[in-house]
């Protein structure tokens, strides 16, 4: 299976392509799509969308695994990140590529073994797991590779069912279903 991992960012969006399965995988390539922070935000979104579409066209992944948004202290930052995720999802959907989404904490837990791992730890684990001489840089690219590896480890699991719900959301929904008196936070 070929997986394109994406770490969305409004200035730098990381991407990484990995072939394999949960037991064995290998790096194909990684990089970033950079947008000038001085450009209008809409122009940056277009550049990111076009860049992701070009990566999809070049590498023809089976799956596009995208990191979910985290809860940012700054609402404006979270909103912009949501827009970036939207254009990434649109590019993958337009290309007919299956989409999977993973919470940042699950990605870190999967590749490092600790859900609050630092970016340097994720970067070093990508070097080790993908048998690279140097850690993949920048952090945006190593994070994207971690998202791709996470998909290889979680593909086919119940929480990533046919509806492609994000694992964290699927777990929350299962907990709420098991205890109907609990309500999801709004």
- pLDDT for the residue numbered 152: 97
State the burial class of residue 88 (Cβ atoms within 10 Å of its Cβ: 0-12, 13-18, 19+).
buried
Query: What residue ranges do the domains of the chain occupy?
Result: 2-178
Question: Phi/psi of residue 77, each to 5°?
Answer: -65, -45
Query: Does the pLDDT of residue 101 top 60, yes or no?
Result: yes
- The CATH superfamily holding the domain 2-178 is Ribonuclease H-like superfamily/Ribonuclease H (3.30.420.10)
Indicate the pLDDT class of residue 176, thresholds 50, 70 and 90.
low
Listed in sequence order, the residues at least 6 apart from 128 whose beta carbon sits closer than 8 Å to its beta carbon are none
The pTM score is 0.82
Indicate the pLDDT class of residue 109, thresholds 50, 70 and 90.
very high
Catalytic residues: 7, 67, 140
Indicate the pLDDT class of residue 2, thresholds 50, 70 and 90.
very high
Query: Does the pLDDT of residue 177 top 80, yes or no?
Result: no
Contact 97, 64 (CB under 8 A): yes
């Amino acid at each position: 299976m070929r997986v394109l991992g994406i770490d969305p960012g409004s200035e730098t969006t990381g991407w990484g392509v990995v072939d394999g399965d949960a037991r064995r995988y290998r790096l194909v390539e990684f990089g970033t799509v950079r947008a000038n922070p001085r450009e209008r935000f809409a122009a940056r979104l277009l550049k990111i969308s076009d860049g992701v579409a070009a990566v999809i066209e070049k590498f023809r992944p089976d799956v596009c695994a995208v990191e979910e948004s985290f809860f940012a202290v700054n609402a404006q930052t979270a909103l912009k990140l949501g827009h970036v995720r939207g254009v990434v999802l649109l590019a993958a959907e337009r290309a007919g590529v299956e989409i999977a989404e993973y919470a940042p904490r699950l990605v870190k837990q999967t590749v490092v073994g600790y859900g609050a791992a630092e970016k340097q730890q994720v970067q070093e684990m990508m070097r080790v797991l993908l048998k690279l001489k140097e850690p993949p840089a920048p952090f945006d690219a190593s994070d994207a590779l971690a998202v791709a590896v996470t998909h290889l480890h979680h593909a086919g699991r119940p929480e990533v069912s046919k509806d492609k719900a994000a694992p964290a959301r699927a777990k929350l929904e299962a907990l709420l279903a098991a205890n109907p008196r609990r309500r999801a936070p709004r």
